[in-house]
Amino acid sequence: RHSVNRPPTPDTRDDQEKEPTLKEIINIKLIESGEKERLMELLRERLVESGWKDEMKSLCREYIKKKGRNNVTIDDLVHVITPKGRGSIPDPIKAELLQRIRTFLVSAAL
Amino acid sequence: MSAPNENNVSQPQLSAHVFDELLDSIIMDVASECHRITKLGLDRNLEEEEEELRLSAQARARVADPSNSSETNGKYIVDIFGQTHPPVANEIFECMNCGRSIMAGRFAPHLEKCMGKGRKARLKATRSSTAQNRYTRRNSASTYSPYSNPTSTSRLPNGSSGVSGHEYSNGSLEEM
């Protein structure tokens, strides 16, 4: 009868478990205040300056050369650069960002 | 370190978590950008390299292809640039000795006969009397008669085909 498969409407009892986690709250606050955007831009800028982005791009290019231009998905590229990318963030950059985040968390009384 | 809060997550962990999230977004952006550039063919270097790889693979295929490399195919040998060269060079020019039009690939054998290195020319030279004159010409200023046969030349005593008689008849040389 039903043309669409849909999960049963959740019980109101389940609402208690659906309360946002702390992480979700933080995320919401970051976005609403605009701080997330600012932090992203700051991190992006620092990573470009340090050459990190160029390194990642060259990793991508090597992978693409090997695998062939038409056989590459974004997912592939993400998997290619994530391990190296996470591990090669220069310490000062990481410290600067962490500092800013901490300041924000404090100011948001979290 | 601040006291753990309701979810038992410490503050540095939270900061680290936020940082990781930011980083993942940026990594995603970089991957997306590279993917776009590649698919749209905007990376010139990549294209050039692909083109070179393709051409060298083609060339290798051509070289390895047995139907191309057999000499018995006559003119149809194709080199790696796709050019064919006839087995005998076929440019035509004028022989500076006898003035005939000669094909480049046949020039060496022609010169042999033309300048007296071959058997026939040698025989001709020894038989004609003017050849006798030429042998002695070097030692004295004897009368010189132009060579009797336009296609034969003087034969130097040491047997090598040196300066040809053609030049002598031009009057461009010594002892006349």
Report yes or no on A32 lying in a domain.
yes
Fold of B87-117: Double Stranded RNA Binding Domain (3.30.160)
CA dihedral B92, B172, B111, B118 (to 10 degrees): 160
Cβ contact (<8 Å) for A74 and B16? Answer: no
Query: Residue A42 corresponds to which amino acid?
Result: L
Report yes or no on A1 lying in a domain.
no
Contact residues, chain A, for B49 at CB < 8 Å: 65
Domain span at A94: 22-108
Quick: pLDDT tens for A41-74: 999 999 999 999 999 999 999 999 888 888 899 9
**Nearest-CB residue to A105 (from B15, B20, B21):** B15
Q: How many Cβ pairs closer than 8 A exist between chain A and B?
A: 100
What predicted TM-score, i.e. pTM, was given to this entire model? 0.51
Contact residues, chain B, for A97 at CB < 8 Å: 19, 22
Report yes or no on A8 lying in a domain.
no
CA–CA min distance B55, chain A (Å): 16
**Nearest-CB residue to B38 (from A72, A78, A81):** A72
Report yes or no on A87 lying in a domain.
yes
% of chain A exceeding 90 in pLDDT:
70
Quick: pLDDT tens for B77-110: 777 777 777 777 888 888 888 888 888 888 888 8
Separation of alpha carbons B107 and B153, rounded Å: 16
Report yes or no on A92 lying in a domain.
yes
CB atoms within 10 A of CB A82: 16
Question: B84 - beta bridge partners?
Answer: B78
Quick: pLDDT tens for B24-79: 999 999 999 999 998 888 877 777 777 888 888 888 887 777 665 544 455 567 77
Please state the domain count of chain A.
1
Encoded tokens for B8: 């038992």
CB atoms within 10 A of CB B103: 13
